[in-house]
Amino acid sequence: MALKIKRGDTVVVISGKDKGKRGEVERVIPKKNRVVVNDVNTRTRHARPSQNNQQGLFTFDAPIDISNVMLVDPGSGEPTKVGYRFTDSGEKLRVAKKTGRDIDG
């Protein structure tokens, strides 16, 4: 199944401990239905210090389920569902359900 959220989209978290946060999608993992959003679901790992990692601690953004995020409508700035429509030339475009505006292009 094709996912309606792509890398580079701005999304808002709708459930979980980071509810209400907005961020840009860094990575999409379609096989697991998960996305990595910038500054959302930040985790800390402990690792033995090495020449590359002097500190021993490093933080990273862990993936969250795609059902916990909603795309932000570029026009209104509000969360919206995503639909599709086809152009006259047969090109498939993503459309914001709330306003009806095109998301791609």
Closest CA to 61 of 50, 47, 84, 45: 45
Q: Does residue 81 share a domain with residue 47?
A: no
Q: Does residue 83 share a domain with residue 57?
A: no
Give the separation between CA 71 and CA 104, rounded to whole angstroms: 12
Helix H or strand E encompassing 57:
strand 57-61
Backbone φ and ψ for 78, nearest 5 degrees, come out as: -105, 155
Give the pLDDT confidence score for residue 37 in this predicted structure.
97
Give the pLDDT confidence score for residue 25 in this predicted structure.
97
Q: Are 4 and 94 in contact (CB under 8 A)?
A: yes
Q: Does residue 87 share a domain with residue 44?
A: no
Residues forming a β-bridge with 13: 69
* Two tokens, residue 36: 């990595």
Domain count, the chain: 2
Q: Does residue 93 share a domain with residue 59?
A: no
Give the separation between CA 93 and CA 104, rounded to whole angstroms: 6
Host domain of residue 49: 1-67
Give the separation between CA 60 and CA 41, rounded to whole angstroms: 8
Give the pLDDT confidence score for residue 1 in this predicted structure.
54
In order along its 105 residues, the chain shows pLDDT tens digits of 578 999 999 999 999 999 999 999 999 999 999 999 999 999 999 988 888 777 888 899 999 999 999 999 988 899 999 999 999 999 999 999 998 899 875
